[in-house]
Amino acid sequence: MVQIGIVGASGYSGAELLRLLSMRADVSISRVVAGASAGKRVDEVYPAFSRLSDHSFEAFDPEQLEGLDVVFVALPSGEGMRVVPQLMDRVDRIIDLGGDFRLADVGLYEKFYGHKHVATELLGKAVYGLSELNKVQIASACLVANPGCYPTSALLPLLPVLKAGIVSTRGIVINSLSGISGAGRSASVEMSFAEVNENIRAYKVGNHQHIPEIQSVLEQATGEKIGLSFVPHLVPLTRGIYTTIHAELATSCSAEDILSVYSDFYADAPFVRLRQGIPQIKDVTYSNFCDIGFAVEPRTNQLIVMSTIDNLVKGAAGQAIQNMNIMLGLPEETGLLGKELQHV
């Protein structure tokens, strides 16, 4: 039985971890930590867990997590780097769902996240947890930095065609639309129903914290400088991300050639589905799948690629569990196929 702890269990990603892990017979959720909700039962904060969980949230105490097989840290960026160092010598494996260990360059982190990094000694030890790219490294990792939701939706469609030289490394345009759960559970006027309903707006244009993550992963994977722009948009959905990418074709190739590149790249990737048509969010909701579709536009010599994910599953908790499975030597699909489509 795998002994699990979740730090930050009362947030949306933490609750999604609870939902998915509660369905597994091979996992025991030993500790659920949530400072602001300490002392409350899980089903008091999330009534959907009534009769599904008898846990109560507790305050963070690293000694209480000692000896666990896996601890998920589902805290906002800036908080994880204060918690993870206290766990490194106490637990076998840590998966951080925040952004504190995704960037090896501390200067980029401090520029885009807006605060000082206080655990720089761990940046070189963290493995970037894009399962389809770094499976071998993840398998032996002690600390995994779970990718951001937007980067997941952009990297999975871009990596195969960039590595194959099909598209230019310059002038890549990424537009992503996200449901409001990506902003977290904290209340704010901008996320209120009256502001979000029947409305769409871009935000953090040119300075979103996921820009250096997308760029650095692509540059490391291809060995080339990548020129891209990324514009996120908030749409009136609870969950889901829809990403559309425009990239100039660097070589003459048919749609069949491009499909072959994608098929070969993701031959052993159980959660990437290639669509002949246009993907849509409702086909991936509550699942760990990333659906990818594309079109060749000869008029502009562009490849247009579309991807969809559930930002709380493949963009957060589901990918974290996929990484846990790899770290434990289990099939990646364990606990992530079938039942997870049922909303508790």
- Residues 119 and 85 both lie in one domain: yes
Dihedral sign, CA of 323, 18, 81, 187?
positive
- Residues 12 and 126 both lie in one domain: yes
Q: Is 149 one of the catalytic residues?
A: yes
- Residues 285 and 325 both lie in one domain: no
**CA-to-CA dists, residue 22 to 53, 148, 321, angstroms:** 8, 23, 12
- Residues 30 and 154 both lie in one domain: no
The 10s digit of each residue's pLDDT in 252-284 is: 889 999 999 999 999 999 999 999 889 999 999
**Where in the sequence is the domain holding 33, given as residue range(s)?**
2-147+313-341
Q: Where are the alpha helices (DSSP H) in the chain?
A: 12-21, 42-45, 80-87, 106-113, 135-139, 149-163, 193-196, 211-222, 255-265, 318-327
Cα 173 to Cα 128: distance, rounded to the nearest angstrom: 23
**CA-to-CA dists, residue 16 to 11, 97, 181, angstroms:** 8, 12, 11
Bridge partners of residue 144, in order along the sequence? 95, 127
CATH of the domain at 256: 3.30.360.10
- Residues 196 and 290 both lie in one domain: yes
CATH of the domain at 34: 3.40.50.720
The 10s digit of each residue's pLDDT in 136-186 is: 999 999 999 999 999 999 999 999 999 999 999 999 999 999 998 866 666
The count of structural domains within the chain is: 2
The 10s digit of each residue's pLDDT in 36-72 is: 888 888 888 888 888 778 888 999 999 999 999 999 9
Catalytic residue among 142, 149, 253, 290: 149
- Residues 161 and 252 both lie in one domain: yes
- Residues 154 and 288 both lie in one domain: yes
Single pTM value for the model: 0.94
Q: What are the structure tokens assigned to 337, written together?
A: 């196929």
Q: How far does CA 306 lie from the centroid of its chain?
A: 17
Cα 41 to Cα 314: distance, rounded to the nearest angstrom: 27
